[in-house]
Amino acid sequence: MSSQVAASPSDTLVGVSVVDGDLTLTDGERTVEVAAVWLRDSCTDAESRDPVSGQRLFDIGDLPPDVRVVEARVSGETLEVAFAPDGHRSRFDLGELLDAVRTPPRDDRNESGKRLWPRVTDLGGLTRVPWARYVADPAPVLRSVVEDGFALLAEVPAREGQVIDVAETFGFVRETNYGRIFDVRIEDNATNLAFTGRAISPHTDNPYRDPVPTIQLLHCLANAADGGDSGLVDGFAAAARLREQDPAAFSVLATTKVAYRFDSPDAHLESLAPLVGLDAGGRIREIRYNNRSMRVPALPREEATAFYAAYRALADLVLDPAAQLRFRLDPGDCVIFDNTRVLHARSAFQAVGGRHLQGTYADLDGLLSTLATLAGR
């Protein structure tokens, strides 16, 4: 049977019909076929979902393998459906159902939900958000981390351990072998070049972990040293430019797995992944770029030549001065950035005068959850 109703977010006339046991929805622009098994699996009635948690009460094996729609009719804003062979009946909000079939799931981790900035001028300047303003309304800063890849707070209390308090405003600290907090300053016999005064080229942190910490925070406690300026590069934008300029090189970096490794007296970490990580739809979802810890396998000669040419092409884009946002962290500044997208760097500095940052790691899932909670979802 079929029915029609003027009910959807856009008040579009909707036709509902059953064709060969599946559901067909027709609006003014297109027809969408909805598989009966998907519709049955999506039921939210009391027999199908727990009313408090909303969690499903059945397993896929509990559904008849030949489930089909035998009746569908519209009543106001509601679609009523009967299934066979078990006789199950359920109701669907028509607007929500149309949204579900029209709009693919959104992945806030891939490039499609980002504002890419291949050049610093694309950012329109660097904004420091006062700590008090952030605490009163964290959503704009958190959206900047998701969409632009970073945000910069100012006037954060310059006391040791404060970086943990910042991370806990939106998520949970990811503890590593460096501890809950790590100090970025010159150390004797440093096990990581970050703990020296050397210049550090653009990189993502901890590519040798699986999974990689997806959020990093760096909080400045003191910076009277000569040098030590910070830098950020949009790795997604660099990879997207490479895809546009040299698709073959992009493909090489997205398909060739390389090893990332870190060794110290108390930790031996290694992962195997490509420099450019893609989702199932081919969209950029992760960058692992760290020349200090990357170990390229002994590839066949032609593959090695192609890989290093592609690696150099990406490096040229990453190291382009026009792509690097340069700034100096002053005491009280705290930068929050997406460690799977944004590469960070530092110029060399002298021990005289002192430079002390404290850092910690967190994850995007906590940040995205906080944003959704603030939005009332």
309-336 pLDDT, tens digit per residue, is 999 999 999 999 999 999 999 999 999 9
| Residue entry with tokens 């100012």 | 154
Return d(Cα 364, Cα 215) in angstroms, integer.
6
Helix/strand/coil (H/E/C) assignment for every residue in the chain: CEEEEECCCCCCEEEEEEECCEEEEECCCCEEEECHHHHHHCCCCCCCECCCCCCECCCHHHCCCCCEEEEEEEECCEEEEEEECCCCEEEEEHHHHHHHHHCCCCCCCCHHHCCCCCCHHHHCCCCEEEHHHHHHCCHHHHHHHHHCCEEEEECCCCCCCHHHHHHCCCCCCCCECCECCEEECCCCCCCCHHHCCCCEEEECCCCCCCCCCCEEEEEEEEECCCECCEEEEEHHHHHHHHHHHCHHHHHHHHHCCEEEEEEECCEEEEEEECCEEECCCCCEEEECCCCCCEECCCCCHHHHHHHHHHHHHHHHHHCCHHHEEEECCCCCCEEEEECCCEEEEECCECCCCCEEEEEEEECHHHHHHHHHHHCCC
Structure tokens at 173: 């600290």
How far is it, in rounded angstroms, from Cα 159 to Cα 130? 16
Tell whether domain 2-102 is in CATH 3.60.15.10. Answer: no
Instruction: Tell me whether strands 150-154 and 128-130 are parallel, antiparallel or unpaired.
Output: parallel
Which pLDDT score is estimated for 267? Answer: 93
Query: How high is the pLDDT of residue 226?
Result: 82
How far apart are alpha carbons 317 and 249 in whole angstroms? 13
pLDDT of residue 9: 41
Low-confidence ranges of the chain (pLDDT < 50): 1-11
Q: What is the CATH number of domain 111-374?
A: 3.60.130.10
The structural domains of the chain, with segments of one domain joined by +, span 2-102, 111-374
